[in-house]
Amino acid sequence: MIRTALVASLALTATAHAQSENQVYVETTDLGSGLYMLATNQAGNVGVSVGEDGVFMIDTQMERFAPAIDAAQRAVSGDRAVDQVLNTHLHGDHVLGNAYFAEQGAVIMAHPSVRDGLMNPVTAQLTGSTPEPLSGGYLPTVDVNDGDVVTINGLTAHLHHTPAAHTNGDIFVVFEDANVIHAGDLLFSGWFPYIDLDNGGTVDGYIAGMQAIVDVADADTQIIPGHGPLSTEADLEASIIMLTEAKARVQALVDQGLNLQQVQDAAPLADFHDDWNWGFITTERMVWTLYRDITGETE
């Protein structure tokens, strides 16, 4: 049984924004075994394990949502502070709450490339934006890698590193006893995925990363995606089929000698648009990503 509860909290920002824009809702979904998915109405999904040993949180979201995320976990953990945090990768919407939780005593873990990437950020060519370099409590202090295990609250969390996928430092987390997986941004459920080529992501690596999750999942596995609703193995399989087909179509046009504009004009993903297009990764940006991944060029 999945129980959901809605915890609302006002973000503490004194701005001229309308009140409704400042309101952060955290929806808490009970996955059993002391595991919860915490979803905000404005960004991606946090996972937590709560129990006798303490609170283990996967991803910390944006800084301004951290108080609401913390309130939501405290509502199910008996008002305990977070003890351990794992960042699934280096993107701001997964790490910018780190300092908030570190200040309360949490130890932050991530793949070694996350710390380097946060200290020395690169420009995302897709958007032209460069994140601010981070320091202090924002930075993970414990390196974890493929094969490592976190044992907490009677559960074992197996960490899997998938190289060159969404970034170069993605880790997905498998709670085998509970049959729950946090996929990080290896799953944008029902949306075109963001594949961060500037931080070491690749299309083939992303597909392999999704397949690695399918390989350890079964039809009953509850999968927390980086973005989107609570998902299943079938959602991953649909995304693998779509992305594999999308790459093959762009590859065929590149093989005919078309440049980026000509590929865009050919609209190879037109029939995927209604189902997969969304605000950040539009159909045009998905084509751009595939073209750049295949050719190394951006025009």
Residues that bind Zn ion in the complex, under the rule CB under 5 A: 44, 91, 93, 185, 226
Residue with Cβ nearer Zn ion (185 or 233): 185
Which CB, 248 or 280, lies closer to Zn ion?
280
Nearer to Zn ion, 77 or 168 (CB): 168
Minimum distance from residue 177 beta carbon to Zn ion (Å): 27
Please, what is the minimum distance in Å from the beta carbon of residue 81 to Zn ion?
A: 24
The residues, ordered by sequence, that sit 6+ positions from 25 with a Cβ below 8 Å of its Cβ are 6, 7, 8, 9, 40, 41, 68
Token reading at 134: 């981070």
Q: How far is the CB of 227 from Zn ion (least distance, A)?
A: 6
Question: Is the CB of 200 or the CB of 226 nearer to Zn ion?
Answer: 226
Residue 199 CB, nearest distance to Zn ion (Å)?
A: 9
Whole-angstrom Cα distance, residue 225 to residue 189? 6
Q: Residue 196 CB, nearest distance to Zn ion (Å)?
A: 7
Toward Zn ion, which CB reaches closer, 96 or 287? 96
Q: How far is 236 from 242, CA to CA, in rounded Å?
A: 10
Nearest to 226 by CA among 92, 49, 77: 92
Q: Measured from the CB of residue 92, what is the shortest distance to Zn ion in angstroms?
A: 8
Q: Between 44 and 47, whose beta carbon lies closer to Zn ion?
A: 44
Question: Which of residues 277 and 295 has its CB atom nearest to Zn ion in the complex?
Answer: 277
Least separation in angstroms between residue 271's CB and Zn ion is 26
CB 53, min distance to Zn ion, A: 28
Q: Which is nearer to Zn ion, 97 or 226 (CB)?
A: 226
